[in-house]
Each structure stands twice: as structure tokens, then as C-alpha cells.
Amino acid sequence: MKKKLVLLSLLLTLLLTFSKANESKLLTIPEQTNFKRTSTYREVMDFLKKLKAKHPDRMKITFFATSTEGKKIPLVILSEEGISKPEDIRFTGKLPVLIMANIHAGEVEGKEATQILMREILEEGREDLLKNQIVLIIPIFNPDGNDKIAKGHRRDNGPEEAGVRYNGQGYDLNRDYLKLETPEVRALVNKIFLRWDPVLFVDMHTTDGSYHQEPVTYAPNMAPQGDQTLIDFMWKRMLPEIDKNLEKKYGIKSIPYGNFVDRKDPSKGWRNHAYLGRYGTCYFGLRNRLSILDENYAHADFKTRVKGALAFIKSILEYTSKNINKIAALEKEADLRAVNKVKNSDFPVSFEPVKTYDFTIESYVFRIRKMTEEEKKKYPPWLGGYLVEKTDKIKTYKLPLFASYKPREFVKLTEGYVLLPSEKQVVELLKTHGIDVQVIGKDFKDKVKVFKITDVKSSKRIFQGHHLNKLSGEEILKEVKIPKGSFYVSLSQPLSRLAAYLLEPLSEDGLAAWNFFDRVIVREWSNKYRMYPVYKVMRTPPVYMYTL
Ligand SMILES: [Zn+2]
């Protein structure tokens, strides 16, 4: 009898503890609404504050930027040691990994999945993910876009209402990484990338493209000017292992991000076009760091997307937890290569897509039909007058992935760049990126490579507030006077790849393209263009310089 009583009371205590834990379990907005709604900025902040109140020792919140409409953007820091600033990391012997969501604020599942991840790490048995690393999370990077929640912003399969893609100024934040015209990306680059120096950056999105079954898609840095060893490591080692683990442990399938090359014939291939530095994950690659673009499948329902996104970031953190020191060592080697091997090398300026590898995709049988006259008015002309419709019949395709880019044309780099004193605004921007700039303390003359512009074509269409330029011209060797107060950017520095990317006049996504030199690259009365205001020097300026 006594034994039975003891057992009963034990059972009661267990039940009580369980229901208490359940009572106090913080739920995200989708969990509370059966995945009908996504959270507002206030609701995210509310969740974060309540979770932090329960775990003040392992969870910290700092704010690193203020949006145009005045919302403070949170960075959540999860660590066993209670780290709240980057200076304290070195005492832990650990390194940070950064996960960011909601840059395109209509793409919402990352915002919800990162909140659930925090809860799982802090109170649902996933504290193992903090054992070897510091986890940095930006759950809501675009709060202004997020809070414009309404119907009809996305064609995703739920939630009913979502925010918009652009920020409070009307910019697409995932096109701003080079020009830094938004308070959000400017602070992300200068306050998070530069100060915390995460070994990995994960950027969470929702796809908008082709039909398939897999709920998660991914890509590493695609910019071919990035360190090739790191790019190869991502494609060949890291992503396949994360992909495999995601399926084995969580039962979720994933494939590389992309779209069918030819809508009419899926077997022709799968292509990822996004190789420019304006995209966050590519930009991060130009900084010699690893990055993962997460694009969750838009046609999957909201709950499936949150579940897939959550499992994917856990699979990533499991990988980094095991391999973080190896990754950091690879990145340090890439930094060293950037210091020693970029100057005087061939820098690619145009590319063609080439096969990365073959893979299989679970998709559908498609039906092709001509548009009716009515449909022709409804759809854009580039669809070519026919529609490709998905049937319910599932089909597996084996097809080539085109996500690698082979250089077609090169320019030769030199020791570094000299910027004329007129380019203070550009220098300011380079400094914000973390690029080392020195001031030349004395006038001098030297033989340098100058870029003689023969033509500037500006796009007719406005893109992100710009008419993008395409320059033509040739480099000529010329003796010029370099005035005191000019600036020197050496290519013997860890961010040399990024510096060349921004300053080369033929760089497809460089500062000349983004109109930063428009004041000077104009035609004179003689119909000739003025000189490009960045010289390529053949040697370090042989005069006194000081660091800016
Ligand atoms: Zn997106």
C-alpha cells in the first residue's frame, strides 16, 4: 500500500511538473493561431523579452540599428557564458555563428523558426547547440517591411497576411550590401559582420519559383571573385553533409536553390543566377567568410515551411558545432591568401555559368499550352505566349545544377588603388565596410594605370534608386601627379577581394556601376570623358602615409 502511495505521489508530481512546464512554455504567434498568422514587430519583441526574463544568464538582447520608421532592430545572443558584446568572446574560446531572418519581410517563416529555435535551445533540450559556439540571431531584420502586414503581398501558401519586401525607405535590403544606403544593412555590415566576425552567416528567405517537393533549398556564396577554396568547401563538404543530416535526423528533404533553366524541359538543368555582391550571402563570401542562403519552398504550407526552416538551421548549427574550429582555420587561410595572393592577380569581370554537379529533384510532370488572347493580356511578354502548368503527377528528374561561374574576361590587378581627394564619400563607404584606407601625406608623381573611359551606358530602368552604369574603356600607363590628401587602398589586406570588387571600373556590381563616380565620369566639351578617379598603382606610394 505504502509503495503504491509513493508511486502515486511521484506520478502526481511528474504530471504537475509537466503541466507547469507546458503552462509556462512561450508560444510564437503561428503556434498560438494554428499557423494562420505571422508575428508583428511588437509580438516578436514581446516573445524575446519574456524568453529573456526566464533565461537572463544565457540570453542577451542588444539593438544594433534603428529602422527608418524608428524601430530598434534586435540581435539576440545565446551563449553558455552570457556574452553580450563581441569583446567578451575571446575569453570563451568559442566563435559566433549568425542566423538572420526577415530581410524580405513578406518571407516570414525564418522569423518564426528562429524564435522557436531560441526556445528549443534554452528550454527544450537543445542546449548542446551552445556547447562549442555562440549563436547570434537577428529574427526580424526588416521591421518596417514586416509591419506593413496585409493580404496579397505574397503568393506563398500562407499565412493569409504578410509584410512587404522593401524597407522603410522603399529599398530592397538584399541589394544594398555594396552601396550601404539603408540603416539596416549599413549597421549589419559595420556593427555585426565587422565587430562580431561570425564564421558563418545564414540568410533566411522564401522562394518564388519552380515547383518541386523539397521544402528547403540552399546556396553558398555564389560570387566567383570570392575565395575558391571556401566555395569548394561549401559545395563539396559542408552543404552535402547538412543536407544529408537534415533528411536523416529530421526527415526533411532539401536541394540547391534555383529555377529550371527551361520551363518547357526541366531535364535541361537547374540554375542559380544570384552571383553578384549586392546579395548578402555573396557579399559575405567576398569577405572570406562562409554563408548559406536558405530559401524555403513558397508552395509548401506555412507550417511545413516553419518546420523545414527550423530543422535546417538546427542541422546547420549541428554541423558548425562539430566543425567550427576547422571552418575558422579555413577562413584564416583565406584571409592570408587575400593578403598575399590577390595583388597583381587576374581579377575576373565577366562570367558564364557552368555545371556544379548533377542532382535529383522531386518535381512534377508539366503540361505546356498556348495562352488564350485573354491570358496574353494578363501575363508578361517574356513568358513567350505559352503557359507551363504543373500536373499532380510526381516525377523525379536527374539534372545538372548550374551554380558555378567560369570567368570569361579578366583585368590585371596591381599593388593597390589611389583615390583622389574628391572621393571622400567613397572612402567613407570603404571604411564602413572595414577596408583599410591610408591618407597620402605628400604630393608625388608616379607611373600608374589609369582607366580611360570610352563609353558609359546607364540603364534606362531605375533599379533601387539608381540607373546602373556599364563602363567601357582601357587601362593606360601614365605618369600622374598624386596630390597630398589622396587615399591609398592596399591590396595586401584581408578585404582585398572586396576592395577590388568595389573599385575596379569594369566590376559588374562595383561602385562605378552604382553611380558613386557619376560626378566625375562625365563628358567634357571635347566629348571625351574625364579620367576615372581611382588609379591603380604599381607600387606602394613611396611617401609618408597615415591611417585614416
Ligand atoms: Zn527573399
Task: Tell me whether residue 388 is exposed, middle or buried, using C-beta atoms within 10 angstroms of its C-beta: 0 to 12, 13 to 18, 19 or more.
Answer: middle
pLDDT, tens digit, 9 for 90 and up, residues 359-417: 999 999 999 989 999 988 888 888 888 888 889 999 999 999 999 999 999 999 999 99
pLDDT for position 157 = 86
Residue 172 Cα to ligand 1 midpoint, Å, equals 9
Residue 203 Cα to ligand 1 midpoint, Å, equals 9
- Phi and psi, residue 464, nearest 5°: 50, 45
Residue 175 lies in a domain: yes
- Selection from 140, 142, 145, 136 nearest residue 183 by Cα: 142
Q: Which structural domain range is residue 377 located in? A: 348-407
Distance CA 157, CA 151 (A): 12
pTM > 0.75: yes or no: yes
Instruction: Check whether residue 438 and residue 364 sit in a common domain.
Output: no
* Inter-CA distances, 159 with 30, 118, 152, 211, 283, Å: 9, 22, 10, 19, 30
Residue 188 Cα to ligand 1 midpoint, Å, equals 17
Residue 293 Cα to ligand 1 midpoint, Å, equals 9
Residue 304 CB partners (closer than 8 Å, separation 6+): 215
Residue 56 Cα to ligand 1 midpoint, Å, equals 32
pLDDT for position 381 = 86
- The number of folded domains in the chain is 3
Distance CA 138, CA 305 (A): 18
Residue 14 lies in a domain: no
Residue 273 Cα to ligand 1 midpoint, Å, equals 14
Instruction: Check whether residue 340 and residue 354 sit in a common domain.
Output: no
pLDDT for position 6 = 59
Instruction: Check whether residue 144 and residue 169 sit in a common domain.
Output: yes
pLDDT for position 131 = 97
pLDDT for position 14 = 52
380 prior amide bond cis, ω within 30:
no
Distance CA 369, CA 386 (A): 6
pLDDT, tens digit, 9 for 90 and up, residues 18-61: 544 455 799 999 999 999 999 999 999 999 999 999 999 999 99
pLDDT for position 209 = 75
Residue 19 Cα to ligand 1 midpoint, Å, equals 39
Distance CA 202, CA 198 (A): 10
Residue 102 Cα to ligand 1 midpoint, Å, equals 8
Over the chain, what is the mean pLDDT? 94
- Phi and psi, residue 392, nearest 5°: -85, -5
Instruction: Check whether residue 285 and residue 352 sit in a common domain.
Output: no
Instruction: Check whether residue 202 and residue 317 sit in a common domain.
Output: yes
Q: Supply the CATH number for residue 253's domain.
A: 3.40.630.10
| Residue 151: how many other CB atoms lie within 10 Å | 9
- Selection from 492, 513, 505 nearest residue 535 by Cα: 505
Dihedral Cα 45, 47, 49, 53, nearest 10 deg: 180
Burial string for 2-21 (b: 16+ CB within 10 Å, else e) reads: eeeeeeeeeeeeeeeeeeee
Distance CA 197, CA 30 (A): 32
Residue 1 lies in a domain: no
Instruction: Check whether residue 352 and residue 225 sit in a common domain.
Output: no
Residue 206 Cα to ligand 1 midpoint, Å, equals 6
pLDDT for position 293 = 98
Run means of pLDDT, 10 residues per run, the chain, 548 residues: 57 52 81 97 98 98 98 98 96 96 97 98 98 98 97 86 96 98 98 98 91 96 97 98 98 96 90 96 98 95 97 98 98 98 97 96 92 88 86 94 95 98 96 98 96 96 97 97 97 98 98 96 86 96 88
Residue 11 lies in a domain: no
| Residue with the three cell numbers 535546417 | 312
